[in-house]
Structure formats: structure tokens, C-alpha cells
Amino acid sequence: MADRPRIFDDLAGVAGGAISALAGLREEAEAMVKARVDETIRRLDLIRRDEFDAIAELAANARAGQEAAEARLAEVTMRLSVLEARLSALETAPRPSGDGR
């Protein structure tokens, strides 16, 4: 009774082959579905999440840069107004007499 019947070896071989074949079919089906989804996304002009995230980061950086530039412009504009007011005050101030005393 030490020998197994040959039918069990045959069944084990068939089962192993079937599992290998199913694994191959699964991989092929996944590749086909991925290709279809990619084609559909391309036709719909959709973008991938990583591309969207990169563009969102660029937009956030641009927005921050614009806000910084606007703040700097406001500061420079205020300083210019102060300088113009001081210049105007100097121009309208009475001038001292020119007799040298």
C-alpha cells in the first residue's frame, strides 16, 4: 500500500496545469482591461491623478508667488506715495531768504 495509484498523480498534474492556465488567463484579462481603460481615458481627454496633483501643485505655487508679488507691489506703492507726499511738501514749503544769514 506504499504505492499510490497513478490516477492521483495524473489528477494532481491536471490540477496544476489548470491552475497555471487560469493564472495566465487572469494576467491576460487584467492586461486587456487595463488597455481598454487607458484607451477610454485617452479618448475622453481625462488625466491621471498624479498628473492632476502635479498641476494642482504648480497652480498653488503660482498662486503663492502672485500673492507675494501683490503684497510687494502694495508695499512699494505705499512707499512711493509717502515719498511723493514728502516731495510735494518740500516743493510747497517756503524757501529761506537768500541773504546768507
d(CA 67, CA 15): 67
Three-state SS at 60: helix
Name the residue ranges covered by the structural domains of the chain: 7-46, 48-91
Amino acid identity for residue 51 in this structure: E
Q: How far apart are the first and last CA of the chain?
A: 137
Torsion over CA: 50, 56, 59, 61 (sign) = negative
What string of pLDDT tens digits covers the 101 residues of the chain?
Answer: 456 678 777 777 877 787 888 888 888 999 999 999 988 888 888 888 999 999 999 999 999 999 999 999 999 999 999 999 999 999 888 877 765 55
* Cell numbers found for residue 26: 487572469
How many CA atoms lie within 13 Å of 42's alpha carbon, on the beta-carbon side?
A: 6
